[in-house]
Amino acid sequence: MSAPTDDSVLGIRDLRVRFGRRDPIEVVHGLDLDIAQGEVLAVVGESGSGKSVTALSVIGLLPENARATGSITLQGRELLGLGASEMRRLRGAEIAMISQDPVASLNPVFTIGFQVIEAVRAHDRTLSTRAARRRAIELLELVDLPEPARRMKQYPHELSGGQCQRIGIAMALASDPRLLIADEPTTALDVTVQAEVLDVLARIGRSEGRAVLLITHDMGVVAELADRVVVMRDGELVEQGSVRGVLLKPTAPYTKQLLSAVPRIGSRVASAVGGGADAPLVLDVADLEVTYGGRIRGLYRAVEGVSLQVRRGEILGLVGESGSGKSTIGRAIIGAAPVTGGSIRVDGIDMLSASRAVRRETRRRIGVVFQNPALSLNPRYTVRQSVTEPLHAIRGLRGSELRDRVDALLDSVGLLDRAGRYPHELSGGQKQRVAIARGVALDPALLIADEPTSALDVSVQAQVLDVFRELQERLKFACVFVSHDLAVVDELCDSVTVLRRGCVVESGPRERVLQHPSDEYTRRLLAAAPVPDPDLQKERRAARLAMA
């Protein structure tokens, strides 16, 4: 076991992490890795591979029932065994973390300025209020946040996800740390914002001898940002090397399996659209307008003049940047957004003018699968109870009929053997499969799927997409699939509608829109979509920087 090299910022040797006290379970098995000055090291692998546990060990934030052994050194200083007060002094000052959910990591009741200034003063109490404010604005300028002085007065809910992530990066840089740990920093961001955030990370991550530990399941992000890659599986290192070597010429079967699961635009063969042009029209949206606001803050039109149609057996993909109106359209269809113009018809029923009883009955034929299954599932319900509830409460099924129906649904998503488990006992992919089973439990005519795979690693995402596709082909429901991942849309959808600032800029069959786009905005989205090819990503980044 070799010692860390002289230029290593972080050195890990024989790291083992165990959970539990009486019968401890080892989840990381003798991990060795180094990160040099100015280097970005990506750690990839499926959920449960030990990526995040390794990062938490470095920053000293493992749960109370976990214990790490081995050696973790930061610029030669041993971290394992340090007391809580010493780790607190190092955390933020020498090691900083950029979290996965930028909105959740910010306090909603304080302004951006207050929070960034607090981060600055936490590491230098000698600064005056004016100096701390000046430093906070400098940090926001460093991460390319537009109009930083004005943003200081705003609250997190007034900013986009990409802007919140830039603020998170600025706060992490407040004390000029030697090591940045970026845990899935672009998971919830659309492709163009993701590209901008990656440009920021690439520029500041390698500056001044800083090192970056990047945890991600997105191979395109790895190709864009990383210098070296470590592949983990079940707590063990299975392959490591340069980003070109691992992504273009992998040697481990598991790495090849991961890369084969990455969806790629253009890899799917041409197919007929859904149930065909003669299939019944399930969803008909015409000139839809959705407006938010009032007298105090003014009016904001989130959706303007949008028209779209979805037939039985068809999957329509809605794509566009954050704020383009994708999710708002989905909420308007289920009656959860203020429609101020146009019409929405589901199975021929006008959802705006029909009686309340008719609307309520029609909405029972609309299923919904949300982005975050951990929040959409009741933590006190088992898997069986989650799927049983709508069948019992709405359809009135009981006894053997109810049991057989639930068993069939759970079997269709591969979770019959986990029917008695609770959400916290399931992986992210398993939770999403429960959410899909619940969404189709009432045999919906229409399913709204809002970013259902954005937080899943590539292999689990592939499994969930297979389940989704099989159910849709068998049940023939119409589907509106909201996503920022263009490769997933190409893999699954029949037709695509591209939105920008609440308006439709392009719409048509999947092959034409994603492979032969006519609108410049669609072409820009496609150019920003990351692919697991470091050479291509290098060319794209150079082109972006040249245009900036």
Same domain, 215 and 359: no
Asked which of 231, 260, 289 is the last residue of a domain, the reply is 260
Residue 202 in domain? yes
pLDDT at 445: 94
Residue 544 domain flag: no
Same domain, 246 and 353: no
Domain shared by 155 and 188, yes or no: yes
Question: Are 378 and 451 found together in one domain?
Answer: yes
Cα-Cα end-to-end distance for the chain: 46
Q: How many domains does the structure of the chain reveal?
A: 2
- Identify the segments of the chain with pLDDT beneath 70: 1-6, 188, 269-276, 294-298, 455, 544-545, 547-548
Q: Which residues of 138-148 are buried (b: 16+ CB within 10 A; e: fewer)?
A: ebbebbbbeeb
Tell whether 276 is covered by a domain.
no
Same-domain check for residues 297 and 187: no
Q: Which residues contact 296 (CB under 8 A, 6 or more apart)?
A: none
Phi then psi for 64, rounded to 5 degrees? -65, -30
Residues 495 and 366 in one domain: yes
Pull the structure tokens for residue 40. 């970005």
Same domain for 422 and 487?
yes
Which pLDDT does position 297 carry in this prediction?
58
Q: What is the pLDDT of residue 460?
A: 77
* Domain, as residue range, for 304: 281-538
* Other Cβ atoms within 10 Å of 487 Cβ, number: 22
Whether 488 and 267 have beta carbons less than 8 Å apart is answered as no
Same domain for 77 and 213, yes or no, is yes
Shared domain check, 238 and 291:
no
Cα–Cα distance for residue pair 173/195, rounded to 1 Å? 20
Q: Where are the beta strands (DSSP E) in 157-270?
A: 179-183, 211-215, 228-233, 236-242
| Measured distance CA(535)–CA(541) in Å, rounded | 10
> What is d(CA 260, CA 462) in angstroms, rounded to the nearest whole number?
10
Q: Is residue 275 part of a domain?
A: no
Angle at 162 between CA 213 and CA 148, to 5 degrees: 105
Q: What are phi and psi of 340, to 5 degrees?
A: -115, 5
How many C-beta atoms lie closer than 10 Å to residue 186's C-beta?
Answer: 28
Q: In this structure, are 407 and 511 located in the same domain?
A: yes
225 in a domain, yes or no? Answer: yes
Residue 510 pLDDT:
93
Which pLDDT value is given to residue 383? Answer: 92
Q: What is the pLDDT of residue 3?
A: 57
Q: Is residue 51 part of a domain?
A: yes
> Which residue spans within 89-137 are E strands per DSSP?
95-98
Q: How far apart are CA 58 and CA 123, in angstroms?
A: 20
Supply the pLDDT for residue 269: 66
pLDDT given at position 185: 82
Reading across the β-sheet that carries 298-311, which strands appear in turn?
Answer: 298-311, 281-294, 339-346, 349-350
- pLDDT of 387 reads 93
Residue 458 neighbours by CB under 8 Å, 6+ apart: 217, 218, 219, 258, 261, 262, 263
Q: What is the pLDDT of residues 275-303, one digit of tens each?
A: 667 889 999 999 999 998 766 556 778 89
In whole angstroms, give the CA distance from residue 353 to residue 330: 18
Nearest partner of 442 among 414, 405, 480, judged by Cα: 405
Are residues 245 and 309 located together in one domain of the fold?
A: no
Q: Concatenated DSSP letters for 4-70?
A: PPTTEEEEEEEEEEEE-SSS-EEEEEEEEEEEETT-EEEEE--TTSSHHHHHHHHHT---TTEEEEE
pLDDT at 547: 64
Residue 159: CA count within 13 A, CB half-sphere: 30
- Angle of the 458-475 helix axis to the 428-439 helix axis, nearest 10: 10
| Residue 328 belongs to a domain | yes
Instruction: Give bridge partners of residue 319 from the DSSP assignment.
Output: 498
Location of structure tokens 């000055």:
37
Alpha carbon separation from 111 to 115, 122, 149, 400 (Å, rounded): 7, 17, 12, 55
The total of other beta-carbon atoms located within 10 Å of residue 59's CB is 20
CATH of the domain at 347: 3.40.50.300
| Helical packing angle, 399-412 and 458-475, nearest 10° | 130
Predicted local distance difference test score (pLDDT) of residue 191:
76
Judge if 249 and 291 occupy the same domain.
no
pTM of the model: 0.79
| End position of a domain, from candidates 260, 291, 315 | 260
CB neighbours of residue 543 within 10 Å: 11
Q: In whole angstroms, what is the distance from residue 531 CA to residue 519 CA? A: 21
Q: How much is the pLDDT for 349?
A: 95
Instruction: Write the DSSP string, 383-437.
Output: HHHHHHHHHHHTS---HHHHHHHHHHHHHHTT-GGGTT--GGGS-HHHHHHHHHH
Contacts of 363 (CB under 8 A, 6+ apart): 334, 335, 351
In a domain, 2, yes or no: no
